[in-house]
Amino acid sequence: MTALTADRNTPRLEGEMKSAPLAAVKVFAGALLMRNAAGYATKGATVLGLRGIGVAWEQVDNSGGSAGDLSVRYREGVFRFVNSADADAIAETDVGKLCYAVDDQTVAKTHGSNTRSVAGIILGVDSLGVHVLVSEAALAAYLQTRRVFVPVRIATLVGANVYRQLSIHAGRIVKIWSVTEGVLTTGDATLTAKINGVAVTDGVVTITQAGSAAGDKDSATPSAANVVAVGDDLSLTVGGTNATATVANALFEIERD
């Protein structure tokens, strides 16, 4: 398309009502609605890989179909949900922090040892429940301010050396990145991430030899055993069959609590 040369009637969405293709689930009106990694709306639940997007404005049953067969209308905004209990109960001191989905009407103050996804931002607490801002755009912007990085320099991608760095942040490792400063000419190299000597689940970065060049970027996305505390030992262990002395720079990307 080309730039305008005359007035244009540009369509817009009216109000706060939105629509999203629904996963193969049934959602009730008033349910906490979240988006999964495949881009489909789904109901709040104790599971990873979701992000809060709003509240369902209608009951839609797509449990007998395939993801995307039906859509659900929803609204963003501030909504009151049921407070979790015991150590996970949200208090006034948690206002301004993230909360996490327990189910489609209940939120908690923690990620439950890395088992829950972010629902929204806590705006208030009373005897009836928790007032939560559920907005996909607002949540994305907020999460970006909570991302920090711990660098680790890998002196050589040959052998089985371990390279360490102390974490000055508490949270969850959401990504491990690497970039090479040279070429691998013999075989692949791997970097295995560990916290205090315990391997991070799905925390192995593979740097392939085929087509390698200086500046190659690789990454891994942990799925469990990725909770880190201040002072923890973050390490990367070199592996693979590479025999070319190549330097790499790595980063642990941490989503702070």
What's the whole-model pTM score? 0.71
Task: Give the Cα-Cα-Cα angle 57, 114, 111 (nearest 5 degrees).
Answer: 50
Our count of domains for the chain comes to 2
DSSP symbols for 78-141: EEEEEE--GGG---GGGTTSEEEESSSSEEESS-TTTT--EEEEEEEEETTEEEEEE-HHHHHH
> Does one domain contain both 139 and 33?
yes
> Does one domain contain both 154 and 113?
no
Answer yes or no: is 233 within a domain. yes
> Does one domain contain both 162 and 123?
no
> Does one domain contain both 101 and 152?
no
pLDDT tens-place string over residues 152-204: 999 999 999 999 999 999 988 999 999 999 999 889 999 999 999 999 999 99
pLDDT surpasses 70 at 13 = no
Q: Which of 34, 28, 29 is nearest to 63 (CA)?
A: 28
pLDDT tens-place string over residues 80-135: 999 999 999 999 999 999 999 999 999 999 988 888 999 999 999 999 999 999 99
Residue 161 is encoded by which pair of tokens?
A: 């050396």
Q: Which domain holds residue 204?
A: 148-256
> Does one domain contain both 140 and 63?
yes
Q: Of 144, 169, 185, which closes a domain? A: 144
Q: Which of 25, 241, 34, 226 is nearest to 111 (CA)?
A: 226
